[in-house]
Amino acid sequence: MSTINTSMGRYSLKAKEYGNHIRGSIAINDEGGTQLTLQEFDEHYLDDVVNNVIYPVTGGNREITRALREEMVKAGFEQPH
C-alpha cells in the first residue's frame, strides 16, 4: 500500500492507495505555508490523479505536475496499464 505526503512550492499532496483506488488531498498554500484551499479526491489510477486533480489544481503547470507524478511513482504508486 503506497502513501505520499509531500510539498512542492505552494502545493501539498497527501495520498494513500486503497486496493483499486487512490484517496487523498491536494492543498494550495500561501507563501507562509498557511493552507488556502484543500481539494480531496478519490481516483482509480495514478494518471487519473495527475490529469483530473494535480494538473487542474496547479493551473496547468506541467513542471509541478510532472514532478509530483514522479514523487508518487517513487512512493510506489503505479499506473496499471
Residues 44-58: pLDDT tens digits?
A: 999 999 999 999 999
Cα distance between residue 4 and residue 7, in whole Å = 10
Residue 60: is its pLDDT beyond 90? yes
Whether the full predicted model's pTM is greater than 0.95, yes or no, is no
**47: which 3 cell numbers?**
494518471
Instruction: Give me the percent of the chain exceeding a pLDDT of 70.
Output: 100
Report the half-sphere exposure of 3 (CA within 13 A, side-chain side). Answer: 2
